[in-house]
Structure formats: structure tokens, C-alpha cells
Structure 1
Amino acid sequence: MSGEQKLLDRRRFLAATGMAGAMSITAAAQGKVVAASSEGAVADGRTLNTVALQRAIDRAHEAGGGVVVLTPGVYLSGGLQLRSNVTLRLEAGSELLGSPRTEDYQYHPGPAEEGDANGRHLIFAIDAENIAVEGLGTIDGNGAHFWHRKGRPQAKPEDMWADVVAWDYEAATPRRPAPMLEFARCRNVRVEGVTLANAPSWTMRPIACESVWIHGVRVRNPIFAPNTDGMDITASRNVFISDCDIATGDDAICIKSENPYGELLPTKNITITNCVFTTCCNGLKLGTATYGRFENITFSNSVIYNEASSPLNERVIAGIALEMVDGGSIEGVAISNIVMENVRTPLFVRLGERHKGRGSFVRDIKISGIQARGALLTSSIMGVEGMPVENVSLRDISIATVEKGERKWAHGMPPEMREFYPEARMFGRLPAAGLYVRHAKGISVSAFSLNSETPDPRPVIATEDVSDVELLHVKASAAAEGEPLLRLRNTQNAWVSGTRAPAGTAVFVEVAGATSSGIALHGNETSSAAKVVAFAENAKAEAVTGA
């Protein structure tokens, strides 16, 4: 009996006994089954199998569709192109190992020939439909051959909060395969069950695709590996990511808007759920690049973590980073039920202007059910002057921080950095312990709790150039050294309600700035505050009612 016939008989047995599981979706479908070994592939980890594996893919495609199967062993290969109606299946114990030689990867036009994302890939598909990569095997990009140590000086202990361990390494060649898996302008793409390891740069990018399912995927890149984003969802629509376990050296999931393959369509209808991330960069990040529209994005029921023993420069920079700096827009983001452990900054929302665009905006963001333990840096929502972040709701946010604040930070004025690359640590230490909001409109904060491990001489929440803001049911320890619990600077139409002044509060609310107005205090418990309202920086008493 041929190897191909054995595979067919095995599938019939699994289907008959109800044991096929998730793999049966494509395996049981009509199509040719091609064992890679039947096309001459040798699973010894030394023989270059590019030609044999591509022949197996082409054979399945030419038959109208089918499954190419890698049985246990290590298949060394250069770049492969997946074609319509073909599933590449890696059985448990099999490994597709990327060649360490850049000349074994064909350049595919569109992206730049060099850089973090270029035209060389271990697996590539373009204008294909009904394609899949599945199984319990491993795709290993042989990344260690494509980067090396820089030899840069180590960061001082006091600067580790702003450092990133991946900066210790850099690309050994600008033509490293990147992304390792690239799906361009494809429809009905499925990646399921596989482990993606040691990517030379970005791990996987669906770009300008429609209908993408990514389920049960493990990413395993070293924490120091440079530019090894776990998944870069780019200019695609109707994308479903679930039950993934990502450990990497750059952003775990990064949603982008750019398209070197043609028309820039919206990045739209993206659902991410039931995932676990660990990295030294960001957990979920929107941006960069951000040239077009982001619409209808959800992220839920997930964990973002670092071990308590991790040095500060190996910890997640921001658990959630929503960044728009290249002239595009973000509208309609819902994030809920996220647990973070030892993440430096829980939340970072930024609208900047690295590249100018017509009508760039960030608005209609709802974030709820966030529990962050071991945080270090202040969460923030920041636009730039004349370009406010709009309509952001934070509800049921609980942050436990280990940062020991300083009073000089409470009175600092972060630089605007309008044209800078966005990053949560870019502004340094912020003038609030829990949340800093600047250049924003329509901000609602409800059931926000901050637990500081050490006394912090900064307000729990501070606003600057903000209008139409609600601060409801805020809970925190009293700010140390006589600082207010809340500071509202040049803030209009603010509603503060349902908040109890903790014991030792010097000032419940400080109103600062001559343009502050329409600030209403209602239904608060302020008996423990030495002073309910204080005024500074030419703020007027008539700016506040209900005190």
C-alpha cells in the first residue's frame, strides 16, 4: 500500500470514529493528498527540500486542490509558495526548518527588498484562496542565523524601565526572510494548531486579505529576538484570532495599515479572543504603520504577562497600545476582560502626527474589565493640540502599581513630541500615578481603582486640555506630600461623582488653569479631605459647582 493510500485510509478511519477533530475540516474535504516524501523530500534536517516541497504543493494545486503532508522529521527548505485550494499539514513531530541562506528565498515584488518586512518568506501566498497551514508540527525560521549582538552598553539600573532587551540584537543581514509567513491579497486563509518558532523577523502577516482564521497557534521567538512581531494583521478584513499562545521579542499582535501590494483598504472587522501574550514590547498594538482606517476591532478574554523575575527591560512596554500617527484613523475599538501581570504600562492611547493626513482621528474606544498587577508606568490617553482623542470610555479598571513616584513628576509637563514614533515610555514619568489625559474630548472613566505599593505624591488622575470628561467612582490611596487626589488643568465640562476621598487626602480636586470651566462635583464623600477644592494657575472659583 502506498504512503498516499495509507494517509487516505487513516482519514477515513478518523472520520468514521469521530476522532478527526478540527483537522477534519480540510482533511475530509475532497482533494488530493500528497505526502512530501512521495515527491522526494528528505526529512533529515540537512537536505534542502525546496524543490520537492514546492512540487508537492503544485501537484495538489493542479489536481484542483488537496493536502500536502509533512510526516515526522525535519524538512530543511527555502522559500515556498502556497497556492489556491492547498492545505499544508505538519503532523506532530514534523518540522519545516528555514534555510540559513538568504539566496534560498525568492524575492517577491511589492515590499522593499530589504528591511524588517521585505519580499522574502519561508511560506508565501498571493492572490490565492482557500489555503491553510495546519497541524501540530513546527515551522522554524532558523532565526539565530539572521541576527547578532550589537555590543551596545548595558542600560543603567535606573534606566531599565525605558530599555528594551531586544535592542541588544540587530539583523545580521537586511535581507533576512520577513515576514516568515506572508499571505498577500488572499481569501479564506486558515492557520491552525502549528508552532511558529525562531522567526528571522516578523513571524506572520496576512496583508490585504479577506476572511482569515488563526486558531490555536503557538509563537515561540526568543525574548531578545529583534523585530519578531508575533502576528501583523495588515490592511485586512474579517479576521478571527483565538486561543493563541504568543511569546516573542516584539509586539505580540500588531495591527497595521499599509499595503505595498496595491490599494490600501481598511483594516476592519478584527476579532481577537482567548489568547496569552508575553514579550518585551507591546501586547496588542494598533500601529505603526497607520496610513489608513482601522474599524471594528475587538480584543477580549486574554492574558498579557511577564514573570516577576523578569528584568524591567524584558517586560511588556504596554499591554494595550492604540497608536495613530500616519494620517489614518481609528474608530470602533472594544477591549474587555484582560488580565495583565508585570506589564510596564497597562494602557496607552496616542494620536500624533508623524505623517500628516486629512481628518486623522482616534475615537469611539471602549475599554473595560482590565486588571493589571505589577504595573510600573502611568497609563495615558494623549492627542496633540488641535487633534484631540475623542470618545474614550474606561470602565472597571483596576491597576496595582509598584512605581515609587516623585513629587517633581507631579508638576512636570510632558513634551508634545507631535511627530515622534509612538511608545508608552516616550514621555518619561507622567504627572499622574494612574491615568494622565491630555488633548482629549469625551472621556468617561468609571470604577477606576489604583493601588500603589508605595506612597505616590501624584494625583491618581490628571487632565490637561480636556473637555467633556466624567470621573466616576475613582478609588485610590491619598496622594502623598499634600498633592491632590485629582488634578484638572485647563479642563472644561467635567463631572466628578461617586468618589470617596481616602483618609489623609490634602485636596480632593485641584482645578488649575484659566480656561478651566464647567466642573461639577456631585455625590462625593469628601469628609476625609482637608480641602475639597483648591485653585491654581489662575483658575477661577466660578469654574466649580457643587463643592
Structure 2
Amino acid sequence: MDLPHKPTKTQITAVRISAVILLVLVSLASVDGKKPCPFSSYLEFSAISCRKHTAVLTDFGGVGDGVTSNTNAFREAIEHLSTLAIDGGSQLIVPPGKWLTGSFNLTSHFTLFVHKDAQILASQDESEWPLVEVLPSYGRGRDAPGGRFSSLIFGTNLTDVVITGNNGTIDGQGSYWWDKFHKNEFNVTRPYMIEIMYSDQIQISNLTLVNSPSWFVHPIYSRNVIIQGLTILAPIDSPNTDGIDPDSCINTRIEDCFIVSGDDCIAVKSGWDQYGIQFGMPTEDLLIRRLTCISPDSAGIALGSEMSGGIRNVRIENVTAINTQSAVRIKTAIGRGGYVKDIFVRQMFLSTMKYVFWMTGNYKSHPDEKFDPKALPEIKNINYRDVVAENVTYSARLDGISGDPFTDICISNVKIGLTAKPKKLQWNCTNVEGYSSDVVPLPCAPLAKEVVSSDGCPFPEDQLPIEDVKLMTCITKNHAT
């Protein structure tokens, strides 16, 4: 198998331009046999569903001056459009302008479309952020024991929801929240940017998301989720600004995203200690591909640390991580219970890394003192193949749990180039067992057994159900002024 290579910016741009032109020409030529619409008058976008009805935020009193609050405009617009769900669904267009708003809730059979020249600005007025209950699989707020602020864009018990645009911007204006967090002035958890709960058929795509107060995109207790084409940007020292956190979700596809973060670019989760064990909803059947990540103090992709409901059948491929602490990291601890198993990773290009491989069995953050010290996690069947890395300090740090080793770890076809001053002990391994082949530098003794297959570590050949979901081409009027 060919090793991954890093495409140039020119190549990426050329491919994107060609794809957009091809999609526009093909779809415009086939819409009801009509003549093509002027490019300036209509916009095309891809979605799981197209809508019969359209409204614009200004129809409900929205003012895009960056100063006037549009919280009521968003809420009234969505409440009105919710009545059209049974009649072909509806979409709300956020036109060019700067639209200041607090938290608002979505509805089913609905599309929120953010124009490329629009910016949704998150309010820094706490009165515009209602409080919601703690998540049952966490037992408390993630930042503080109390409740939590509702997310900027929030939804629960929904079906068929699209949040998209032609690269419009949502700005969380996070500095206000980060400053108060650092000063320990919150007794509840900061808002996330987008959170969808207990929902089915969700799409979040083609947006630029910047400066979230905390996590950016958090689908939880949901299924059939597609996240694609997101640019996510936060200062590398901003607290807990995870990019995308699929949490107790089934059948999820994350692809073609660029993330610069103060925390993990993607963090896969499923509940926290005894609360996650009791709730018992795993994250499974997850595909992550074509990710580019920059996060000097965190992972490109983390599995955990909140993984008490289980994480299973995760496929990760075509990852580029630059100036990032580690590539795909497993984080767990005594008391977590649950499992991380059947993880398959291939085709990673890594540059300027502290660790290539990192597994942590003593990630000791707990919601409270009621966790069960006998609840041991199962970490099993973790597969990495086809990795090229350069400017690396440590090849691996693999720390299992005494009496509960991490097993069936497989690493093959890996070439690691070291920094000018690498650490002498390149592979630090305790309480792990596994296999390896064609790995440079040579791995530690617990991984010295040869991989049985001549093709190296396995990667499944079948497709996940979410890969079969095809997007429709939708057309809406261009409301640029």
C-alpha cells in the first residue's frame, strides 16, 4: 500500500474548484429540464434533504449590524418554520451581515443555511443563554458540578436537521468565557457552539466555526450523523476548545475538516465513570477521514477520556497532523469501565509531534468520588498501519493498567523520523501486549511479536452504513444584497 503524502495547497484548491464547477454544471443542467439559473441569483448546496419552504432571518426582524440582538428573531423564525415540518420542511437563510444572538433551538425537517458573507456572533450577555440540565451520562457539568449553559445552536429529539452554508461563519466570541473560566467565576459549564441531542439524521457542514466558548460541535445520544467540510479555529491556548466530539453516537461520518484547537481536534466520547456505565450508550460505527489538525498541546484524535459507555468499531484514515502533541490517543483510567476496541487507523502523515502513539491508563479526571475502583476499562484490538512521521520527540508512550493490560495492539508499516534531539527511550511501554512489523524505530519488546498477516495490521474492507448515505443537491435563492 502506498504511504500517505501531503498534498500541496495548489493541488487542494484545484481539486475543490474542479469539483464545485462540475457539480454546478451537472445539477443546473438537470433541474426539471429548466434553463440554468444565473450563478448570482441562486446558491447550490449538498444536504441530506431539500426543503419546500424558505424564510430569511430579516423576515422576522433580524438586524445584521453586529450590535442588535437577534435572539428573538432566530427563535421566532424557527418556531414559525416548525409548523411547516409536515409540508416538505423549511429552511432559514442567514443572509450577509453580522447577526448577534444568544442560544436558540432548532426544529425537525429543518435547514439552517449561513451565507458565505454572514457571521453569526455569539452574545456575551449571559442572560441570553438559558441553563439546561447536566447530561445523564456525565452526572454533572463538565466544567463545574452545577448545570450548564445551553449551546449557541441547540436541538433535542429532532429528526432530519441540517446546519450548513457556503462557508459562512459562526463566531463564538469565546474570549469572554475563557477569561471567566480561568478566573473560576463559573459554577456551571460554559456553552458549546453546536449541540444536538437524542436526534436522528443530522448534518453539519461547510461552515467556518471560530472561538467557541468550549467544545465546538457535540452530537450526543444521536445516530446517522454527517459532519463534513468544517473549518474550526481557536487559539492554541484556549481552554477545552475541542473541535468535534461525537458522544454516545451510532453511525457517524466525519470528513474533510481542518481544525486548529486548544484541545483535541476530535474527541470520541461515551460518558463519564459510573454515570456513563449506567447510561450505557456506546459510540460505535464511526468513520473519520481526511482530517487536518493543529493542536500543540493535545491530540489529533482522542478516544476518551470519557468512554465509560464504550467506543467500538472506529475507522480513521487519511489524517494529517502538524505541530500536534499526539496523533490518535487513547485516554482512560481505573473507574471508567467501558471499553475501547476494534479501532482501525491507516494513512497518517505527521509532522512535528511529541508522540506518534500514546495510550494513557491513568487519566485520573473523575466527576466525583463515587466512581467504582473495580470498574476497569477494556482496551483491545487497536490497529495502526501506514504511518509517516517526521520531527518526532518520542515514538510511543503506551501506559496500560496494572492487572488490566491493553491487548491486541497492532502497528505496521510505520516510518518515524526523529527530531534533532530525540529522547533516548523512544518506546516506553508498560502493561501492553501486541504485534508489529516494518516499524522504524524498532518498537518495544511487548510489541515485538510479528504481525501474522503479510499485509500488516487489518483495516476493514466493508463499508459502514453511514457511508451509503448520499447527499442531495439543493438550490436556494442567493439573498446577498
Query: Within the alignment, does 1:392 sit opposite 2:405 as a pair?
Result: no
Code of the aligned partner of 1:444: Y
Aligned residue in 1 for 2:381: 364
TM-score, normalised to structure 1, is 0.68
Which of these two proteins has the greater Rg computed from alpha carbons? 1
Whether contact under 8 Å (2:393, 2:422) holds in the other structure is no
Which residue of 173, 176, 181 maps to 1:142? 173
Query: Within the alignment, does 1:350 sit opposite 2:360 as a pair?
Result: yes
Whether contact under 8 Å (1:351, 1:387) holds in the other structure is no
Structure 2 distance, partners of 1:370, 1:80, is 42
Return closer, same or farther for 1:295/1:21 CA change in 2, 3 Å cut-off: farther
Q: Render the CA deviation track for 1:365-409: whole Å, top value 9, x for unaligned.
A: 110011111111241323122111111110011111116357xx6
Aligned residue in 1 for 2:21: none
Aligned residue in 2 for 1:503: none
Query: Within the alignment, does 1:23 sit opposite 2:33 as a pair?
Result: no
Whether contact under 8 Å (2:436, 2:450) holds in the other structure is yes
Which residue of 49, 53, 57 maps to 1:36? 57
Aligned residue in 2 for 1:374: 391
Whether contact under 8 Å (2:392, 2:422) holds in the other structure is no
Q: Render the CA deviation track for 1:429-479: whole Å, top value 9, x for unaligned.
A: xxx32x2322123x11111113xxxxxxxxx5433xx4x84158xxxxxxx
Whether contact under 8 Å (1:248, 1:279) holds in the other structure is yes
Return closer, same or farther for 1:170/1:203 CA change in 2, 3 Å cut-off: farther
Aligned residue in 2 for 1:286: 303
Structure 1 residue 254 displacement after superposition:
0.3
**Counterparts of 1:475-514 in structure 2 under 5 Å?**
none
Q: Render the CA deviation track for 1:282-314: whole Å, top value 9, x for unaligned.
A: 1100011121211100110120102xxxxxxxx
**Counterparts of 1:53-64 in structure 2 under 5 Å?**
53-64=74-85
**Equivalenced residues, count:** 398
Structure 1 residue 271 displacement after superposition:
0.3
Structure 2 distance, partners of 1:368, 1:22, is 38
SS, match of residue 130 in structure 2: coil
Whether contact under 8 Å (1:121, 1:181) holds in the other structure is yes
Aligned residue in 2 for 1:182: 195
Q: Percent identity?
A: 21
Code of the aligned partner of 1:320: V
Aligned residue in 1 for 2:123: 99
Structure 1 residue 222 displacement after superposition:
1.1
Whether contact under 8 Å (2:51, 2:91) holds in the other structure is no
User: Higher mean Cα deviation, 250-259 or 392-401?
Assistant: 250-259
Code of the aligned partner of 1:248: S
Whether contact under 8 Å (2:293, 2:321) holds in the other structure is yes
Structure 1 residue 252 displacement after superposition:
0.3
Structure 2 distance, partners of 1:378, 1:225, is 27
Structure 2 distance, partners of 1:113, 1:380, is 30
Structure 2 distance, partners of 1:446, 1:231, is 32
Q: Render the CA deviation track for 1:479-501: whole Å, top value 9, x for unaligned.
A: xxxxxxxxxxxxxxxx9xxxxxx
Structure 1 residue 26 displacement after superposition:
5.7
Structure 2 distance, partners of 1:114, 1:395, is 37
Return closer, same or farther for 1:26/1:439 CA change in 2, 3 Å cut-off: closer
SS, match of residue 281 in structure 2: coil
Aligned residue in 2 for 1:225: 238
Code of the aligned partner of 1:132: V
Aligned residue in 1 for 2:368: none
Code of the aligned partner of 2:326: A
Which residue of 324, 328, 331 maps to 2:332? 324
Q: Render the CA deviation track for 1:42-69: whole Å, top value 9, x for unaligned.
A: 0110000101111111111111121000
Query: Within the alignment, does 1:211 sit opposite 2:224 as a pair?
Result: yes
SS, match of residue 218 in structure 1: strand
Return closer, same or farther for 1:374/1:21 CA change in 2, 3 Å cut-off: farther
Structure 2 distance, partners of 1:73, 1:359, is 52
SS, match of residue 344 in structure 1: strand
User: Higher mean Cα deviation, 56-65 or 249-258?
Assistant: 56-65
Whether contact under 8 Å (2:47, 2:162) holds in the other structure is no
Code of the aligned partner of 2:332: M
Return closer, same or farther for 1:114/1:250 CA change in 2, 3 Å cut-off: closer
Which residue of 135, 145, 148 maps to 1:118? 148
Query: Within the alignment, does 1:439 sit opposite 2:431 as a pair?
Result: yes
**Consecutive unaligned residues in structure 1, runs of 5 or more:** 1-10, 151-168, 307-315, 410-431, 451-459, 473-494, 496-547
Structure 1 distance, partners of 2:148, 2:60, is 30
Structure 2 distance, partners of 1:199, 1:301, is 26
Structure 2 distance, partners of 1:217, 1:247, is 11
Structure 1 residue 76 displacement after superposition:
0.3
**Counterparts of 1:63-78 in structure 2 under 5 Å?**
63-64=84-85, 65-78=89-102
Higher relative contact order (CA 8 A, sep 6+): 2
SS, match of residue 103 in structure 1: helix
Return closer, same or farther for 1:89/1:13 CA change in 2, 3 Å cut-off: farther
User: Higher mean Cα deviation, 369-378 or 228-237?
Assistant: 369-378
Return closer, same or farther for 1:471/1:330 CA change in 2, 3 Å cut-off: same
Structure 2 distance, partners of 1:114, 1:286, is 17
Query: Within the alignment, does 1:239 sit opposite 2:263 as a pair?
Result: no
Code of the aligned partner of 1:133: I
Code of the aligned partner of 2:112: L
Structure 1 residue 207 displacement after superposition:
0.7
Structure 1 residue 344 displacement after superposition:
1.0
Structure 2 distance, partners of 1:230, 1:214, is 11
Q: Render the CA deviation track for 1:226-277: whole Å, top value 9, x for unaligned.
A: 1100111111110100000111111100001117799331110110001101
Whether contact under 8 Å (1:180, 1:203) holds in the other structure is yes
Whether contact under 8 Å (2:394, 2:422) holds in the other structure is no
Return closer, same or farther for 1:60/1:369 CA change in 2, 3 Å cut-off: same
RMSD: 2.9
Structure 2 distance, partners of 1:14, 1:251, is 42
